[in-house]
Chains A and B, each alone.
Chain A
Amino acid sequence: AQSVSQHNHHVILSEAASLELGCNYSYGGTVNLFWYVQYPGQHLQLLLKYFSGDPLVKGIKGFEAEFIKSKFSFNLRKPSVQWSDTAEYFCAVTTSSGNTGKLIFGQGTTLQVKP
């Protein structure tokens, strides 16, 4: 079965530190890849997405992610985090299987940024 794995469950950083959150998926076919963020008390919002083309994608608020097909990975990065980045981050994929577009989510990573 298709699955998504996020390696870090809880990350604590100080402001200005660099961030990298790991995400791996298991599916051998075509995928679309997403990172969603859920700020405290708010609903899920899209950070960035990859459909095709340049494997380095840039999203909102200075986030970027790199798709490495050979590693089945889509890691999220930010050079310098801010306190306002405190949130839960979800990696998700849709696959070409069944053509429904349903999102398969990772378990999420809680990021806590200390001021």
Chain B
Amino acid sequence: GAGVSQSPSNKVTEKGKDVELRCDPISGHTALYWYRQSLGQGLEFLIYFQGNSAPDKSGLPSDRFSAERTGGSVSTLTIQRTQQEDSAVYLCASSPARPGGEQYFGPGTRLTVT
């Protein structure tokens, strides 16, 4: 079956611009997670959705970062006024209902801020 998909696969943007990253989870998976993978910081949790609600936003690094999920499916991560330190690979994962279970990862979006 179809896995988690993310778009775009690569994004190059100028410092100060806003970007939107999209995640399509596996159909029927109610839990959705965003992570960031960068050199020196490893893999970091950003935000967790259960359905359309985000009970854990504790990993968002600043108020320039926001995310939403609609219809219990697609999620969008938005970064406003991008900075060079935002350059990273942004990963999305989805999971069936039970928290703590296996997560299935997408291929990621590589963001480069110039």
Q: Which residues of A contact B (CB under 8 A)?
A: 32, 34, 36, 42-46, 49, 51, 90, 92, 94-96, 98-108
Chain B residue numbers with a CB within 8 Å of A42 are 107
Give B53-95 interface residues, CB cut-off 8 Å to A: 55-56, 59, 91, 93, 95
Q: Which residue of B lies closest to A36 (CB)?
A: B105
Whether B99 lies near A100 (C-beta < 8 A) is yes
> Which of A44, A45, A51 is the one whose CB lies under 8 Å from B91?
A44
Give chain A residues whose Cβ lies under 8 Å from the Cβ of B106: 43
Q: Please, how many angstroms separate the alpha-carbon atoms of A42 and B56 in the complex? A: 28
Contact-size category for B:
20 to 34
Contacts A51-B100, A51-B101, A101-B98 given; 14 further ones with Cβ under 8 A? A36-B105, A42-B107, A43-B91, A43-B106, A44-B93, A49-B102, A90-B43, A95-B100, A96-B100, A101-B101, A102-B33, A105-B35, A105-B42, A107-B42
| With known contacts A32-B100, A94-B99, A94-B100, A100–B55 Cβ distance under 8 A | yes
Query: Closest CB of chain A to B42's CB: distance in Å?
Result: 5
B interface vs A, CB < 8 Å? Answer: 31, 33, 35, 42-45, 48, 55-56, 59, 91, 93, 95, 98-108
Can you name 6 A-B pairs with beta carbons within 8 Å?
A43-B91, A43-B106, A95-B100, A98-B56, A101-B95, A105-B35
Decide: A103 near B35, CB < 8 A? Known: A43-B105, A43-B106: yes
Known: A43-B108, A49-B102, A108-B42. A101 touches B48 (CB 8 A): yes
**B102 in contact with A34 (CB, 8 Å):** yes
